[in-house]
Copies of this chain bind each other. A is one copy, B any other.
Amino acid sequence: VKVTRISRAPDASRRNDRSRQAILRAAWDLLDRGGFPALTIEGVARRAGVGKATIYRWWPNKAAIVMDAMSELALPHIPFPDTGSTREDLRRQMTSVTELFPTKAGRALLALIGESQHDALLAAALRDRLIVERRESASEVLRRGVARGEVRADIDPGIAIDALYGALYYRLQVSHAPVDPAYVDALIDQLWPALAAAP
């Protein structure tokens, strides 16, 4: 059954995948080289050997390109292991995150978060495509802990995650202090009494 095209959206089936990939890679490189300010549509087009119109046809703005590039080139795989110990699970997860920060993907993520402050659509996209999943995984760890009797039954996982991960972001973005495995250990140690089940 043939359906008359109504929307003015471009026809994805005709999309040139070579161009798409070249654009994502070029954006990725530029972002890494000079951060968001260095990422210009003009520059991406030049470096990718692509017309500007092709970029504008498929992405509404720079942030959207970076989002795609991140999904495509750098899906930062954060493991959420089940070691049997909630504390150890948290430690490993959070250490993975600290190891992500100094990479290309980490810098891109932070740049996107910064940009999302004045771009509601980007904020929503980030939340949906990157944040929600991670928070869900972390919640799962805590729920397992509750089931095992390690974690207090009346915990609010959202708040706990805000505190744990918030500390990392705050240190990185506001204090500009190092965020490393040692810090993660100290952080979990300090907060553990607030998470642990009563003895």
Binds B, one of A40-48, A51-59, A166-174: A166-174
Contacts of A124 in B (CB 8 A): 176
Taking a contact as CB atoms under 8 Å apart, the answer to whether B163 and A167 are in contact is yes
- Contact partner, A163, options B118, B123, B163, Cβ 8 Å: B163
Query: Is A175 an interface position by the 8 A CB rule?
Result: yes
- Complex CA gap A29/B167 in Å reads 32
Q: Which residue of B lies closest to A162 (CB)?
A: B167
Query: Is A28 an interface position by the 8 A CB rule?
Result: no
Taking a contact as CB atoms under 8 Å apart, the answer to whether B174 and A170 are in contact is no
Taking a contact as CB atoms under 8 Å apart, the answer to whether A170 and B160 are in contact is no
Q: Give residues in A with beta carbon < 8 Å to B.
A: 35-37, 110-111, 113-118, 123-124, 126-127, 131, 135, 155-156, 159-160, 162-171, 173-176, 186-187, 190-195
Contacts of A176 in B (CB 8 A): 116, 123-124, 127
Q: Which residue of B lies closest to A123 (CB)?
A: B176
Taking a contact as CB atoms under 8 Å apart, the answer to whether B117 and A174 are in contact is no
Which 5 A-B residue pairings sit nearest by Cβ, starting from the closest? A166-B170, A166-B166, A194-B194, A162-B167, A114-B114
In the complex with contacts A169-B174, A170-B165, A117-B127 CB distance below 8 A: no
In the complex with contacts A118-B36, A166-B171, A170-B170, A193-B194 CB distance below 8 A: yes
- Complex CA gap A194/B190 in Å reads 6
Q: Which residue of B lies closest to A124 (CB)?
A: B176
- Contact partner, A175, options B127, B163, B192, B194, Cβ 8 Å: B127
